[in-house]
């Protein structure tokens, strides 16, 4: 199976684009694996200092392709642990690749972000949403439990009670409410999406890359750390960063009262 995922690197920004608008950008296994591979590439490609995840068409991503799931159920004999293995090596691996990427990841959401599509946004570091964007946990409507990291991400993003409401009822969470809950960073008219993305991506593309990477890891790890571990990790990160040339540049620019010129890594 081929994939329609598009990618491009320009001016320090890797743009990854979902490109199945006729299927609301539902993810087939090949698409999911292509995303995982591209995020791994972004992690080590020094040309890419920030990753933008976006989609062509009316919708960001309607989740995993249900037709693929149905075909598998009809043609493949189910064996113990097969579903567990597929989830862990598939949807969960995709979400982990976003969380673990050393580059900041910006999700650009218009229309539906459902199921795994919503989790891609939740896992991203920054989310810019169009006014018509909405998020939904569609699993319950198909008789399924939430997977793809949703039960891990949702309580950490919006609190346990609201997470349960979304998971139990599968109702749409509109962009305005998502902004109020802190699930997204900006909500803009659709025609202003590109400008908002360019602003965030441009600022991150000229930022000190290792400082951003270490800070991302500290913040992502903090909900699962006790205070002692979090403080130790913070101090160690500052120790590591102090040896970077971007750290030296930041201090020197401040002393000389001039703009910084961060070269990255």
Q: Which pTM value belongs to this model?
A: 0.93
As a whole number of angstroms, the distance between CA 52 and CA 58 comes to: 17
Classify 208-256 by CATH class.
Answer: mainly alpha
pLDDT at residue 71 is higher than 60: no
Domain ranges (residues) in the chain:
5-205, 208-256
Half-sphere exposure of 103 (CA within 13 A, CB side): 28
As a whole number of angstroms, the distance between CA 104 and CA 265 comes to: 14
> Could you read off the pLDDT of 200-234 as tens digits, one per residue?
999 999 999 999 999 999 999 999 999 999 999 99
Three-state SS string over 179-224 comes to HHHCCCCEEECHHHHHHHHHHHHHHHHCCCHHHHHHHHHHHHHHHH
Provide, for the chain, the percentages of residues in helix, strand and coil under a 3-state DSSP scheme, each rounded to the nearest 5.
55, 15, 30
* Burial class of 112 by CB neighbour count within 10 A (0 to 12, 13 to 18, 19+): buried
- How high is the pLDDT of residue 69? 66
pLDDT at residue 114 is higher than 70: yes
Q: Kindly report which listed range (61-75, 128-142, 179-193) carries the lowest average pLDDT score.
A: 61-75
Q: For the structural domain made of 5-205, what CATH number should be given?
A: 3.90.226.10
Looking at the chain, the whole-number percentage of residues with pLDDT higher than 90 is 88
pLDDT at residue 1 is higher than 70: no
Nearest to 89 by CA among 42, 36, 41: 36
Residues 6+ apart with CB under 8 A from 28: 1, 3, 65, 68
As a whole number of angstroms, the distance between CA 196 and CA 209 comes to: 21
């Amino acid at each position: 199976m081929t994939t329609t995922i598009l990618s491009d690197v320009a001016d320090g920004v890797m743009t990854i684009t979902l490109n199945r608008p006729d299927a609301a950008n539902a993810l087939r296994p090949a698409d999911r694996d292509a995303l995982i591979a591209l995020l791994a590439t972004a992690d080590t490609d020094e040309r890419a200092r920030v990753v933008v995840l976006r989609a062509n068409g009316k919708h960001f991503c309607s989740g995993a392709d249900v037709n693929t799931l149905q075909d598998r159920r009809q043609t493949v004999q189910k064996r113990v642990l097969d579903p567990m293995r597929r989830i862990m090596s598939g949807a969960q691996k995709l979400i982990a690749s976003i969380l673990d990427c050393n580059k900041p990841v910006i999700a650009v959401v218009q229309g539906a972000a459902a199921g795994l599509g919503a989790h891609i946004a939740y896992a991203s570091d920054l989310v810019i949403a169009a006014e018509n964007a909405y998020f939904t946990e569609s699993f319950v409507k198909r008789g399924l439990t939430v997977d793809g990291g949703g039960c891990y991400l949702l309580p950490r993003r919006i609190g346990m009670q609201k997470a349960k409401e979304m998971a139990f009822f599968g109702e749409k969470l509109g962009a305005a409410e998502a902004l109020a809950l802190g699930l997204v960073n900006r909500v803009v008219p659709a025609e202003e999406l590109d400008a908002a993305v360019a602003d965030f991506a441009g600022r991150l593309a000229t930022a000190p890359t290792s400082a951003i990477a270490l800070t991302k890891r500290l913040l992502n790890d903090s909900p699962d750390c006790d205070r002692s571990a979090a403080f130790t990790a913070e101090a160690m990160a500052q120790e590591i960063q102090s040896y970077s040339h971007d750290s030296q540049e930041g201090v020197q620019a401040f002393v000389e009262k001039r703009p910084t010129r961060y070269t990255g890594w």
